[in-house]
Chains A and B, each alone.
Chain A
Amino acid sequence: MQILNVFLVIFLIVAAIMVERTKDLLSAVIIFTSYSLMMALLWLLLRAPDVAMTEAAIGAGITTNLFVVVISRTRRTEK
């Protein structure tokens, strides 16, 4: 369980750095979705199932849809 915890935290740090460095906005949104999903798993391991449920529905579901709709209305790449 300790190893899984450390792996999840390292994944979160790497994903956060990758979101900031990616130029393609659609890829950045997908990486951010995986960040949210891993964050939901980590909330579950931290014994906060309430926050985990909200994070999985809002962070991984609704926010991704809103970002993709906004990208389809504007440019795809960062200047």
Chain B
Amino acid sequence: MDDLFVRITTRMILPFIQIYGLYVIIHGHLSPGGAFSGGSIFAASIVLYTLAYGLKPGQKRLPHHISSKIETGGILFFILIGLIGVALGYTFLTNQEAGFPMGEIGRVLSAGLIPVVTFALGLKVMSTVVTLFHTMMEEE
């Protein structure tokens, strides 16, 4: 798509979409939303960038080998955080008994492992959707 207005508007609107996606991911335990919704909002920004600027700059923004590493690292981080509870003698994904700080109700850094796990899963959803879109675009 070779249109000046679309490119300028995309460049103006892109940081707001990404900030909103990160907000939804990080506030997953306080407000509506979470890893899946926030990750797909964040992925929509990169999909918009690819649509406006073409496939090559979009792939330069998030190359395939980096996105596959983010995807694998997200789910591995989730499993490792969950295994801390098993190593200390509790069940999988044990939160308070395994020693995670609970914090104050209503703050961002509260509820123990949930914000950390939500952030990793949000990055995984984002890279999955972007990889799906880029793979479909480059098929001839």
Task: Mark A residues whose CB is within 8 Å of B.
Answer: 49-50, 53-54, 57-58, 61-62, 65-66, 69-70, 73
Give Cα A75–Cα B99 distance, bound, in whole angstroms: 58
Interface string of B81-94 (1 = CB under 8 A from A): 00000000000000
List chain A residues, Cβ under 8 A from B36.
54
A54 shortest CB reach to chain B, Å? 5
Give Cα A53–Cα B132 distance, bound, in whole angstroms: 21
Given contacts A50-B37, A73-B139, 14 further A-B contacts (CB under 8 A): A50-B32, A50-B33, A50-B34, A53-B41, A54-B37, A54-B40, A57-B37, A57-B40, A58-B40, A61-B40, A62-B133, A65-B47, A66-B136, A69-B137
Give Cα A21–Cα B58 distance, bound, in whole angstroms: 36
Interface size on B, residues (CB 8 A): 18
Top 5 nearest A-B pairs by Cβ distance? Answer: A49-B32, A57-B40, A53-B37, A50-B32, A61-B44
B111 within 8 A of A: no
Give Cα A70–Cα B51 distance, bound, in whole angstroms: 14
A-B contact count (CB 8 A): 38
Give Cα A61–Cα B37 distance, bound, in whole angstroms: 12
- Chain B interface helix/strand/loop/mixed: helix
Q: A50-B37, A53-B37, A69-B136 are in contact. Are A61 and B24 (CB under 8 A)?
A: no
CB pairs A–B below 8 angstroms (5 shown): A50-B34, A54-B40, A61-B44, A65-B133, A70-B136
List chain A residues, Cβ under 8 A from B70.
none
B:61-79 near A, CB below 8 Å: none
Give Cα A65–Cα B44 distance, bound, in whole angstroms: 10
